[in-house]
Chain A
Amino acid sequence: MTTAPLRGAEQSAPPHFQPTSARQVKPALDWLFAVAVLAVAGLYVRALAFTPPDALQGMAQKIYYIHIAAWLSAYLAVAITALMSIVYLWLHDDRADRLAEACAEVALIFLTVGLCTGSIWGHRIWGAWWVWWDMRLTLTLFLWFVVAAYLVLRGAIEEPAMRARYSAVLGILAALLIPFIHLSVYMFSARLHPMPVALQPGAPKMSPQMLVTFLSSFVVFMLLDIAFIRARYRIGVLRELAAAAEADGGEGR
């Protein structure tokens, strides 16, 4: 492939602090990660030992505390990826691209957790490991595929500026795609199976104790979300440093 001068190189953002050695990059797993781990452990203790089981669903209802929070964290990360894609095409700032990459990878982790826990919950409450008529489950599955495609695309391009532009384009198109999948799945499920009101997930009757656990699970997993994203961002910085160092070494010899 011929190398034409790339836009990203000329129109880079105003100079910001650029680390030049690994020492200047803080460790990936730092105090925020430690706080998040402690918070998750605390949430587990509270959810499992100090929160009463649901009258209708029994112990299975406790899956909510990890399931819904995982999806919220995933959607937050996906939203940041889409937003950073727009920012990148606008400002050509490397940091936006790196943040988009970090968020996409973390989103995939949380989406996987959401799908697994949702499936385990559904197999007892719905009587099936998978149901196509549940909108959230189906929508999340397709979101998983889109995020996976985004990460595969990133892995398939070596030229950094091109990788950033391509993945930003995909990020923006994916944001446009989601409403269409949502609408299609909604129409598909609405005609097949009206949602059983008694088992409508997300809105169970909760005692105050359960509600506190439920809401704090959002905060706790968002914290873990941010800690993961930050760690992944720093790994992105290190990776670029390593690539730059190896390119320099190759020229010097």
Chain B
Amino acid sequence: MIDTRRDMIAAYIVATTIYVVYSISLWLRDRRLRARLESTREMDRR
């Protein structure tokens, strides 16, 4: 049996990285859009 531990670790790291990066991108977009909405509303109020 060939030792494939390194392949397994590589696959898990790649997959997890993609999920984490996507989660961060969702979180950032959520935050940015809320900030943008707040600022336009304050401009309207003035």
* A contact residues vs B (CB 8 Å cutoff): 21-22, 27-29, 33, 37, 40, 44, 48, 55-60, 62-63, 66-67, 70, 109, 112-113, 116-117, 120-121, 123-124, 224, 228, 231-232, 234-235, 238-239, 241-242, 245-246, 248-249, 252
Contacts and interface: CB of A to CB of B under 8 A. Distances in A.
A29 B19 CA distance: 13
A121 B12 contact: no
Contacts of A235: 26, 29-30, 33
Nearest to A47: B12
B22 A228 contact: yes
Contact of A242 (B2, B5, B22, B37): B37
B38 A29 contact: no
Contact of B30 (A28, A48, A62, A117): A28
Interface residues on B, range: 20 to 34
Given A22-B38, A116-B14, A58 B30 contact: no
Contacts of B37: 21-22, 238, 241-242, 245
Contacts of B41: 21, 245
Contacts of B12: 44, 48, 63, 66
Interface in B10-29: 10-12, 14-16, 18-19, 22-23, 26-27, 29
A59 B15 contact: no
B31 to A, nearest CB: 9
A44 B37 CA distance: 38
Interface of B: 1-5, 7-8, 10-12, 14-16, 18-19, 22-23, 26-27, 29-30, 33-34, 36-38, 40-41, 43-44
A28 B26 contact: yes
Q: Rank and list the top 6 A-B pairs by shortest CB-CB distance, nearest first.
A: A60-B4, A28-B30, A238-B33, A22-B37, A59-B8, A245-B40
Nearest to B21: A109
B11 A121 contact: yes
21 contacts: A22-B38, A27-B30, A29-B26, A29-B30, A44-B12, A44-B16, A58-B3, A60-B7, A66-B12, A113-B15, A116-B14, A116-B18, A117-B15, A120-B11, A231-B26, A235-B30, A239-B33, A241-B33, A245-B37, A249-B40, A252-B44
B2 A66 contact: no
A59 B18 contact: no
Nearest to B14: A116
B19 A224 contact: yes
Contacts of B16: 44
B1 to A, nearest CB: 5
B40 A242 contact: yes
A63 B7 contact: yes
B18 A112 contact: yes
